[in-house]
Amino acid sequence: MTEAEQAEIDEVDKHVDALRQKWDSVTIFVSREAGAEDMSIGREAGNTISISRGIGNWFSRFGMIRMWLVDQEEGQKIERRREDDGRDET
């Protein structure tokens, strides 16, 4: 791992630690598109760089992520049904 990669992880860890002061379980996901600065450390431009870090009860963090995923999927299904219902009326 390069110093630049470690600095990115350390930055996310700093925020995890700050949130942990008030919250029992914390999970942070971040991503960005690799740019020119990343090519200098061996990453290919256009690729996605992501970091996920967390602290606290693993089951709680896993459950929150799963619940969020289900909510997002169900929200999309409801939105599609609404769009389909709107087409049927015209």
10 shares its domain with 43: yes
pLDDT (tens digit per residue) in 52-90: 999 999 999 999 999 999 999 999 999 888 888 876 554
User: What per-residue confidence (pLDDT) applies to 17?
Assistant: 97
Tokens of 86: 């709107």
66 shares its domain with 86: yes
26 shares its domain with 64: no
d(CA 8, CA 22): 23
- Domain containing 85 equals 57-90
Domain count, the chain: 2
The reported pTM is 0.69
45 shares its domain with 12: yes
How remote is the C-alpha of 90 from its chain's centroid?
A: 39
